């Protein structure tokens, strides 16, 4: 059996920007009793607090849970009754401006400026800049309609790769484009888990909804982790149930 089970967040454990439901909360809590668990996402730390940590039924076993916001450019562990940040690899002000300018240029060039926004479309997450086409607080149903096949964001990625080749561009969530430092993606997060937890990548299992070329979960596969592509949180629940049952046998 694998020693570490790693999950994406949006589209895998929960709907985009939504909290995990009670069933998922209980399943994750059960999984923590039999294995180490980690969650890697493009979201910032407050998103993990709102979507996952604040919804768990208790704190027992949280020492076995690792949280990696912004695609692994930050790492949190539960120690001494509180969450502690081990590292954060933030952009410089000049890097942030270059990325933001490139995003604004590409959005204008492709005609992707939304007629209505729910919050800011570009979010500074410290170690990651994220573009959300309809704004950070857009309703899920609106977001699902904007780019269901990732085609719009694939065009953005192609242009951004040419404009800012010194950075890593990946697609995540339902309307998002994530930009990190070069080589900083979920493969980086997987390697950080290996180094900090002293667990070989071969002993990890990763589950995510964007395990395809260009998807922000794909680097986990490239890093050598065994992967399961899920369609949505309901399918993830089946995966967790299966894992827990296998550990109990």
Which residues does the annotation mark as catalytic?
Answer: 8, 10
Closest listed residue to residue 5, CA positions, set 234, 225, 230: 225
Segments of 80-203 assigned E as strands: 82-88, 122-124, 129-132, 168-172, 176-180
Say how far apart CA 177 and CA 136 lie, in whole Å: 12
* 194 annotated ligand binder: no
Token reading at 55: 């919804």
Say how far apart CA 7 and CA 33 lie, in whole Å: 16
* 16 annotated ligand binder: no
* 176 annotated ligand binder: yes
Q: Are 134 and 114 in contact (CB under 8 A)?
A: yes
Strand order in the sheet with 65-68: 82-88, 74-79, 65-68, 36-40, 4-7, 204-208, 226-229
Closest listed residue to residue 169, CA positions, set 150, 184, 191, 187: 184
* 8 annotated ligand binder: yes
Helix (H, G, I), strand (E, B) or coil at 44: coil
Half-sphere exposure of 242 (CA within 13 A, CB side): 11
Q: What is the DSSP string of 11-23?
A: TTTBSTT----HH
Token reading at 178: 């994530």
Give binding residues for alpha-D-mannose 1-phosphate as ranges.
125, 176, 178
Give binding residues as ranges.
8, 10, 125, 176, 178, 209
Give binding residues for Mg(2+) as ranges.
8, 10, 209
């Amino acid at each position: 059996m694998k020693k570490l089970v790693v999950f994406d967040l949006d589209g895998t454990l929960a709907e985009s920007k939504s909290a995990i439901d009670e069933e998922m909360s209980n399943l994750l809590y059960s999984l923590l009793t039999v294995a180490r668990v980690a969650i890697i996402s493009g979201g910032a730390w407050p998103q993990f607090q709102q979507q996952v940590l604040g919804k768990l039924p208790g704190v027992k076993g949280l020492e076995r849970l690792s949280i990696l916001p912004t695609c692994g450019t930050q790492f949190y562990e539960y120690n001494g009754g509180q969450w502690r940040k081990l590292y954060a690899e933030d952009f410089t002000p000049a890097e942030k401006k270059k990325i933001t300018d490139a995003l604004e240029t590409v959005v204008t060039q492709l005609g992707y400026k939304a007629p209505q926004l729910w919050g800011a479309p570009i979010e500074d997450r410290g170690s990651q800049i994220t573009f959300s086409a309809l704004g950070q607080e857009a309703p899920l149903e609106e977001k699902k309609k904007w780019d269901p096949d990732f085609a719009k964001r694939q065009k953005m990625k192609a242009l951004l790769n040419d404009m800012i080749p010194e950075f890593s561009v990946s697609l995540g969530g339902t309307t998002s484009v994530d930009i990190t430092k070069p080589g900083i993606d979920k493969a980086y997060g997987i390697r950080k888990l290996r180094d900090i937890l002293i667990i070989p990548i071969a002993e990890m299992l990763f589950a995510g909804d964007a395990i395809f070329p260009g998807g922000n979960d794909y680097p986990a596969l490239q890093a050598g982790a065994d992967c399961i592509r899920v369609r949505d949180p309901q399918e993830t629940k089946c995966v967790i149930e299966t894992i827990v049952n296998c550990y109990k046998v």
